[in-house]
Chain A
Amino acid sequence: QSALTQPASVSGSPGQSITISCTGTSSDIGGYKYVSWYQQHPGKAPKLMIYEVSNRPSGVSNRFSGSKSGNTASLTISGLQAEDEADYYCNSYTSSNTRVFGGGTKLTVL
């Protein structure tokens, strides 16, 4: 199972919006609603930000939103804040009853 494809890095200024893409295949992202997104700060465990494509867990800011079109999922962060600077990973359920992560995207808040 190949890793999902994410851009290595994205950047934005405080207050702006950014979108991180995550591209897979019809055997993972395109075939299921089980796409999730994780935020990871250096030296910390990942944190769930979005589950089932577009749902936010309790306590996660509504500045974070998710969507999917075909084999590509996206995470959008609006009103960028300094604390959003972190690595972001997507994850999908697959047709092999396994899971697969994206390679990760480093978000820099300028």
Chain B
Amino acid sequence: QVQLVQSGTEVKKPGASVKVSCKASGYTFTSYGICWVRQAPGQGLEWMGWISPYNGDTHYAQKFQGRVTMTTDTSTGTAYMELRSLRSDDTAVYYCARDTYAFDFWGQGTMVTVSS
């Protein structure tokens, strides 16, 4: 069965970076894209970007250009999302999801708190 398992809760100070992992299993990792979506407390879903594990192509939302990097490790079937220069408004739950032009399987979410 398809599963996406994310890394655990993170607490960071403003200006720091965070790297969240998403380990996929139950399907051929390089056959589907992975997207990252975040949700601030009490707010809606926000699409951050997409990566192709097949060739490493990425597409980022304009809002995060220059501050986010998405990568994959095909040897372990793991996707990563690094967000730099963290601010308090980056406090959110970060999700990875398998992308088939729809997001059919989701990780459990990773809470990232940015606080001094």
**Chain B interface category by residue count:** 20 to 34
Number of A residues with CB within 8 Å of any CB on chain B: 26
User: Could you tell me the dominant secondary structure of chain B's interface residues?
Assistant: strand
Q: Does chain A have a CB within 8 A of B80? A: no
Instruction: Report the separation of the CA atoms of residues A3 and B62 in the bound assembly, to the nearest whole angstrom.
Output: 13
Contacts of B62 in A (CB 8 A): 1, 96, 98
B103–A46 touching, CB < 8 Å: yes
CB distance from B114 to the nearest CB of A (A): 20
The CB with the most chain A CB atoms within 10 A, among B100, B102, B107, is that of: B102
Is A103 engaged at the interface, CB distance under 8 Å to the other chain? yes
0/1 interface trace, chain B 40-54, chain A, CB 8 Å (1 if under): 000011110110000
Residues from chain A with a CB closer than 8 A to the CB of B95 are: 45-46
Q: A46-B45, A91-B47, A103-B44 are in contact. Are A57 and B104 (CB under 8 A)?
A: yes
Contact flag A101-B50 (CB < 8 Å), given A45-B95, A51-B102, A91-B103: no
Is B47 a contact of A100 with CB atoms below 8 Å? yes
Interface pair A101/B46, CB less than 8 Å apart: yes
A76 to B60, CA, bound (A): 31
Q: How far is the CA of A101 from the CA of B47 in the complex (A)?
A: 7
Please, could you name 28 A-B residue pairs with CB atoms under 8 Å apart, sorted by A?
A1-B62, A3-B44, A36-B102, A38-B45, A45-B95, A45-B106, A45-B109, A46-B45, A46-B97, A46-B103, A51-B102, A52-B102, A57-B104, A87-B44, A89-B44, A89-B45, A91-B45, A91-B47, A91-B102, A93-B101, A96-B59, A97-B59, A98-B59, A101-B44, A101-B47, A102-B44, A103-B44, A104-B45
